[in-house]
């Protein structure tokens, strides 16, 4: 695979259309709503307010309040309404204002949406999309900064995605809408304003496919969402010292793209997994365990390293907050130790 073919950022030049991550998501919603009258958007303050992160800005003007519905502050009820509507002919895109608030709706997401097809023996389908603004770095402290995607990776019946670029943010949302099963998309709040090339029109980013964003032979770094960008920056720095990291954009937490990861690890013999959630029982645990139980185990030249969040709620103080999740420096240092087998 080729680095150039998988850019994460684009210059504002020529034929390349540059949008922000938030704009790309909005464009996906608008395209889907134009093409399919059963698509509706629901959530708290997604109408005139435009959503807490302005992602749904102007959709209400374009599609009206019958299709862009402000819900009361009722996450369990709202998500359940989306589930029921999906079960009976609509395709709701449900925005949790912050992914943290999905904790109020675990019942409907996990006991209902994820299981209904199975419990009904395949006789029903729940094509709902949950949008999950996620992550730390905004000074919003412990209840507004979590990265809980690993929980949903543990739930059969769900698909769980994590776009790192505007292009993927759009393509994944369209793919999620095309999917007959419930899909959760973890969007990183700090990425909403990041910009990049976004193709025109409708296209689907394949669900369950990771992507080699940078190739290298010395070690493999698997990272998704904002951690991809930090990992790429760390890889850039390492390259100066002749350490060549292969950086894989995880993209899909459920299902995981075993092949892309294992192929890389067989080549490099070293694996570092970087994720923003709490380290213990996080996304990286599954990636590590998946590799450790595979035939790629025999290619491993070093322990599998994980970098995740500190074992604490996200703190308010900005320096503590920064220290609590992986940053370019810590990724660089870990990768360096791993490359030199100092672990």
Partner 1 sequence: MADPTTDNRPFAIRHYAPAQLREALKRMYLIRRFEEGAEDSYTRGMIHGTMHLSIGQEGSAMASCMELTDADKITSNHRGHGHCIAKGADVGRMFAEFFGKETGYCHGRGGSMHIADVKTGNLGANGIVGGGLPIAVGAALAAKRLGKSDVTVCFFGDGANNEGAFHESLNIASVWKLPVIFVCENNGYGMSTSTARSTAVQHISQRAAAYAMPGVTVDGNDFSAVSEALHIAIARARAGEGPSLVENLTYRWRGHSKSDRNRYRTKDEIESWMAKDPIARFRADLIAHGILDDAAADAIAAEAVADVQKGIEFAKASAAPHLSEVTRYVYAEA
Ligand X SMILES: Cc1ncc(C[n+]2csc(CCOP(=O)(O)OP(=O)(O)O)c2C)c(N)n1
319 contact choice in its own copies, ligand X, partner 1, none (CB below 5 to 8 Å, kind-dependent):
partner 1
The pair of structure tokens assigned to 319 is: 């320096």
Q: Which of residues 136-155 bind its own copies (CB under 8 A)?
A: 141-143, 148, 150-151, 153-155
304 contact choice in partner 1, ligand X, its own copies, none (CB below 5 to 8 Å, kind-dependent):
its own copies
Total residue length of the chain:
343
Residue 141 near residue 314, CB atoms below 8 Å: yes
Residues 147-186: x where in contact with partner 1 by CB under 8 A, - otherwise, as a string: ---------xx---------------------xxx-----
175 contact choice in ligand X, partner 1, its own copies, none (CB below 5 to 8 Å, kind-dependent):
none
Nearer to ligand X, 18 or 104 (CB): 104
- Looking at 42-50, 102-110, 173-181, 240-248, which segment touches its own copies (CB under 8 A)? 102-110
Q: Which of residues 45-84 bind its own copies (CB under 8 A)?
A: 76
Of 240, 250, 254, 191, nearest in space to 220 by CA = 250
Rounded distance, CA 279 to CA 197, Å? Answer: 32
293 binds its own copies (CB under 8 A): yes
> Which of the 8 DSSP states describes residue 219?
E
Inter-CA distances, 290 with 30, 163, 204, 252, 287, Å = 38, 21, 27, 14, 5
Q: Point out which residues pair with 211 in neighbouring strands.
A: 249
Active site residue ranges: 75, 144
Of 254, 326, 323, 322, nearest in space to 290 by CA = 254
Residues making contact with ligand X (CB under 6 A):
44, 73, 75, 97, 101, 104
Residue position matching structure tokens 């006789």: 123
Of 215, 211, 234, nearest in space to 307 by CA = 234
Instruction: Tell me which of 36, 58, 61, 107 binds its own copies, using CB under 8 A.
Output: 107
Q: Which of 229-233's residues contact partners 24+ apart within 8 Å by CB, and which partners?
A: 229/8, 229/164, 229/194, 230/274, 230/326, 230/327, 230/328, 230/331, 231/274, 231/331, 232/8, 233/328
Tell the smallest beta-carbon distance from residue 69 to partner 1 (Å).
8
- Looking at 76-84, 211-219, 283-291, 292-300, which segment touches partner 1 (CB under 8 A)? 76-84
280 binds partner 1 (CB under 8 A): no
Nearer to ligand X, 41 or 245 (CB): 41
Q: Would you tell me how many other CB atoms lie within 10 Å of the CB of residue 247?
A: 31
Instruction: Tell me which of 221, 223, 302, 335 binds its own copies, using CB under 8 A.
Output: 302
180 contact choice in ligand X, its own copies, partner 1, none (CB below 5 to 8 Å, kind-dependent):
partner 1
Q: Are strands 18-20 and 195-197 parallel, antiparallel or unpaired?
A: antiparallel
Which residues contact its own copies (rule: CB under 8 A)?
A: 76, 100, 103-104, 106-107, 110-111, 114-115, 118-119, 141-143, 148, 150-151, 153-157, 254, 256, 277-278, 280-286, 288-295, 297-298, 300, 302-306, 310-313, 315, 343
């Amino acid at each position: 695979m080729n680095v150039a073919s998988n850019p994460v950022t684009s210059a504002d030049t020529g034929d390349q259309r540059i949008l922000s991550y938030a704009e790309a998501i909005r464009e996906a919603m608008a395209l889907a709503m134009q093409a399919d009258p059963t698509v509706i958007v629901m959530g708290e303050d997604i109408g005139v307010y435009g959503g807490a992160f302005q992602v749904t800005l102007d959709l209400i003007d374009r599609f009206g309040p019958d299709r862009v519905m402000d819900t009361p502050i009722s996450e369990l009820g709202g998500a359940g309404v989306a589930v029921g509507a999906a079960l009976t002919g609509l395709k709701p895109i449900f925005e949790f204002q912050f992914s943290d608030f999905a904790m109020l709706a675990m019942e409907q997401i996990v006991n209902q949406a994820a299981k209904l097809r199975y419990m009904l023996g395949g006789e029903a389908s729940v094509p709902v999309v949950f949008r999950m603004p996620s992550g730390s770095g905004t000074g919003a402290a412990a209840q507004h900064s979590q990265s809980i995607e690993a929980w949903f990776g543990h739930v059969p019946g769900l698909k769980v995605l994590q776009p790192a670029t505007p292009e993927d943010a759009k393509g994944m949302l369209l793919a999620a809408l095309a999917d007959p099963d419930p899909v959760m998309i973890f969007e990183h709040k700090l990425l909403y304003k990041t910009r990049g090339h976004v193709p025109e029109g409708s296209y689907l980013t394949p669900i369950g496919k990771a992507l080699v964003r940078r190739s290298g032979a010395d070690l493999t770094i698997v990272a998704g969402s904002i951690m991809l960008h930090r990992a790429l920056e760390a890889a850039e720095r390492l390259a100066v010292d002749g350490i060549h990291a292969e950086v894989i954009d995880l993209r899909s937490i459920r299902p995981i793209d075993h092949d892309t990861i294992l192929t890389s690890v067989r080549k490099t013999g070293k694996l570092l997994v970087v994720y923003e959630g709490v380290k213990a029982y996080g996304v990286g645990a599954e990636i590590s365990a998946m590799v450790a139980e595979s035939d790629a185990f025999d290619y491993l030249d070093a322990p599998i390293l994980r970098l995740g969040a500190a074992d604490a709620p996200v703190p308010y103080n900005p320096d503590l907050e920064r220290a609590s999740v992986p940053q370019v420096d810590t990724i660089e240092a870990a990768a360096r130790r791993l490359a030199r087998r100092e672990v």
